[in-house]
Chains A and B, each alone.
Chain A
C-alpha cells in the first residue's frame, strides 16, 4: 500500500516537474528580443578614451571565468594565467593601447643585426617589487627555465622551437640548457640569437613565456614559487595579493616599484571567479561587478543594452574537412564536395540570428584587425574574401562531386561542441546544408571539448567545427596550422605549393615583409579558394557589460586578454 502511494507520488512529481520545467523554458524564450536585422556598426565599439577626471577612489570589481591554475610564467598556458601575468609582470615589450608592441623592460627599440638573427636589448632601470633591479640575467634565467625539459613548460618549447637558437634541441634533451641562444652581455644588455629571421619576434616579447624571473627569488621559494601571492615577485603595473593558489578570488594592488607607476591609476582590483554567466550579469546589475562577460544565450539578450560593449576577438572558427579516416579516403577528399559544403551555408544570418553576439561572418582564415603590414594596412585588405556563400555554385560543385564519386547521396557527420550555442549552430548548419545540397544527410555529434580534442587527434570525424586563436601577431600563427603533417592539421590535407609558400615565408622571404605578406595571401587563397581544405564560418566577438565609469580598459588580440595599466574610474 505504502509503496503504491509512493509510486503515485513520484509519478505525479515527475509529471509536475516536467510541466514546470516546460513553463520555465517558454518564459525565457519570450523574454528574448527578436533578433534585429539591422546591424548598428557605430555601436560596436565605445570610444577608447572619454574625457573625465579619475575619481579619488580607484577600486575596481571584475569577474574571471575560471580560477588561476598557475602564475609561473613557464607553466602558464591558459587565458586566466596569461591575463594575470600580463598585469603583474612585464616583458621586454608590452602591447600598448593601440596593440602595438612597444619597449617596456627594454629602454629603447631593440638593435637587430642585418641578417635578422641577433637582437640586442638595452634594459631600462626597472625594479622588482622587492626593490631590486631587473637585470639581463633575469631574462637569461627565465628563458632557460622555460625551455628546460625538467620544467615541463607547455608554452616554452612551443614558442621558442625554431625561433630561439638551439631551443628545439634543448627541449628534446639533445643539448644542454646553457646552450640556448641567450646572453647577458652586461647587467643591462640582453642578447638573443635566433635560429632563423623571425619578423614577428618583437611581438613575442610581450608574451608571458618571455617575461624575466629573478633566479634568487625563484630558487629561494623552491616548490612554493608562484603557488600563492606570497610566492610571487612583480615587475609589472600591479602586484597580486589575497591569492591562496587555488581559490576563486584575488586582488591586484598597484605596484609602487613599477617603472611607469605614474601611469597606473587603479589602486585595487578585486577579482572573483564567476562561472555562470547569468550570475555574472546579476552581480553586475546588483553593483557587485563593474564588468562582466555575457556569453551564450544571454549575449543576444544584452547586446543592445546601453552598457553593452561588443569586443571583437581574433579567434576564427571553421569547418575542418577530414580527408582520411581509418586509413581510407573519405568523400571529403573530393575537392568539389568540400567546395559545395563550404559555399552552401549563409553566414551573415548565422552571426546575426544564431550567434547574435556581434561576431563577424568570416570568408577568411586570418582574422580582421589582427595582422598589419609595414604600412599598417590590415592583412585582410591584401587577401580579400574566399569561399563566400553562393548556393548556385555550391550546387554545381555538389553535382560534379557526386558524379566523380559515383554516388547520388552522401551521409556526413558534423562534430561540434556541447554548449547550447554550439548545438544551435550545428542545427543551423544541418538545415542549411541539407536544404541546399540534395542527397546530403547530416548527422550531428555534440561532445565536450576534451572528447572533441581526442577525436581530432585520432582523426575520427567527417566535418568538425573547430577554431583557433593566435599566439602571436602574424598571419603565420594561423597559416602554419595546415601545412602537410602540421601538428594541428589532422585532416590529411596536403598541398606542396601551400607548404612551399609557408616554408619560404620562414626562410627566403623572412626579411622581405612585402613579398612575405604576398606569399601569405597566396597561401590563404590556395587553402580556401582553390582547395577548400577548410570552410571559414565566423570570427568571434564577445559581449561585455561595462559600467560607464570604468574607463581605459585595453583588450589585446593575442596573448593576454586585458591590460589594466591604463584603466581608471571616473564619475562613479
Chain B
C-alpha cells in the first residue's frame, strides 16, 4: 500500500509538470499581450517595460525561469493585480470557492444517493419517476441556469436568502451551493438507481432477505455499499464539473472566488494568474482522483491495490 501511494505521488508530480508545460506553451498562443495596458507608450518605452517584466526573453528561457520558480512554490507575479504575487491572489480567493465546492459536493452526492436509492427500491412508482425527472433536469440544465432561477425566485422575489455577495455569513453560500449541487445530485441519483436495481436482484440480496435481514439493513449495508463503487469512479470528473460550473455561478452571485477571477485573468491575458489557477485546479483534480482510488479499496476490499498486503 505504502509503495503504491509513493508511486502514485510520483506520477502525480509528473502529471503536474506535464500540465504546467503544456499550459505554459498553449498560453503563449493566446491572443493579446500581458502588457496590453501599456499600449499608449511608444516603442522604446514599451521595450523597457518588456525587459522589466522579462517577457522580452525567448520563450524557452521564460519557461525555464517559470519552472524554476514553480519548483520553489512561487507562482509568479500577476500582471492584472500589479505587483501582487499569484500565490496571495489565489489564497485570498480560495476560501469561498472551497466552501461552495465542498457544500455542493456533499449535499449533491448525499441527496443524490438517497434519491437514487428511493427510485431503485420503489421502482416504477411515483417516487421512481419523480427522482428520474429531477435527475434529468439536473443533468440537462447547466448550473448557471439554476443559479439564475434560484436567485430570481428565492432571493429577489421571496427574499428568503441574499441575492448575492459574500457578506451575510452562511446565508450567502446557500443558493450558489444549491445551484452547483444539482449536477452531482442528478448524476449520483442516476448511477445509484441503475446500480441498486442490479444489486438488488443479485443472489446475496435474496439470501439476506431469506435470512430475515431488515429492509433497512439490506438497502444500506448490503445494496448501497456495492452500488457505490461506480459512483466513486465518477466523483473525480464530477469535481471537475463543479470547477467549470463555479466559473459562472460565482459571477452570477458576485462571489469573490477563484472561478470568477480565472475568467477575468484570461480576458486580460494575465499569464501568471492563468497558469497559477490552471495548476491549482489540476492539482486539486489529481488529488481527488488519487483519493478516489484509495477509497476503492476501503469500500470494496476485493479491489486490491498492486497486490497490497
Contacts and interface: CB of A to CB of B under 8 A. Distances in A.
A454 B268 CA distance: 12
Contacts of B252: 276, 278-279
Contacts of B62: none
B39 A487 contact: yes
Most interface-central of B32, B165, B166, B252 (chain A CB within 10 A): B165
A328 interface: no
Nearest to B53: A152
Contacts of A286: 155-156, 159, 162-163
A157 B155 contact: no
B53 A246 contact: no
A274 interface: yes
Interface string A241-255: 000111111000000
Contact of B37 (A67, A154, A272): A154
Given A288-B163, A450-B31, A450-B36, A223 B83 contact: yes
A20 B145 CA distance: 10
- By size class, the interface of chain B is 35 or more
Contacts of A152: 49, 52-53
Interface string A433-462: 000000000000001111101100100000
Interface string B128-169: 000000001001111001001001100110010011111100
A282 B39 contact: no
Given A246-B89, A450-B32, A157 B194 contact: no
Contact of B83 (A70, A457, A488): A70
A261 interface: no
A341 B225 CA distance: 71
B140 A14 contact: yes
Interface in A39-77: 66-67, 69-70, 72, 75, 77
Interface in B171-212: 190, 194
A154 B162 CA distance: 39
Contacts of A246: 81, 84, 88-89, 92-93, 261
Contacts of B41: 154, 157-158, 171, 487
A150 B45 CA distance: 11
B82 A17 contact: no
A14 B140 CA distance: 6
Given A12-B136, A273-B254, A453-B32, A248 B194 contact: no
Contact of A77 (B37, B88, B194): B37
B285 interface: no
Contact of A149 (B48, B53, B92, B194): B48
Contacts of A69: 80-82
A248 B166 contact: yes
A508 B31 CA distance: 42
Contacts of A66: 264
Contacts of B93: 246-247
Interface string A139-179: 00000000001101011011001000000000111000000
A150 B48 CA distance: 9
Contacts of A21: 145
Interface in B198-231: none
Contacts of B38: 154
Interface in B66-107: 80-84, 88-89, 92-93
A276 B254 contact: yes
Contacts of A14: 140
Nearest to B52: A152
Nearest to A12: B136
Given A13-B139, A24-B145, A286-B163, A248 B268 contact: no
A9 interface: yes
A67 B140 CA distance: 33
B9 to A, nearest CB: 31
A377 interface: no
A50 to B, nearest CB: 28
A232 to B, nearest CB: 14
Interface in A328-343: none
Nearest to A5: B194
A285 interface: yes
A78 interface: yes
A449 B48 contact: no
Contacts of B148: 278
B267 interface: yes
5 contacts: A246-B93, A249-B165, A286-B156, A448-B31, A487-B41
Interface of B: 30-33, 36-42, 44-45, 48-49, 52-53, 80-84, 88-89, 92-93, 136, 139-142, 145, 148, 151-152, 155-156, 159, 162-167, 190, 194, 251-256, 260-261, 264, 267-269
Interface of A: 2, 5, 9, 12-14, 16-17, 20-21, 24, 66-67, 69-70, 72, 75, 77-78, 149-150, 152, 154-155, 157-158, 161, 171-173, 223, 227, 244-249, 272-276, 278-279, 282-283, 285-286, 288, 447-451, 453-454, 457, 487-488
Given A157-B45, A246-B261, A286-B163, 13 more contacts: A12-B136, A152-B49, A152-B53, A154-B49, A157-B41, A157-B42, A171-B41, A246-B88, A246-B89, A248-B256, A282-B163, A450-B36, A488-B39
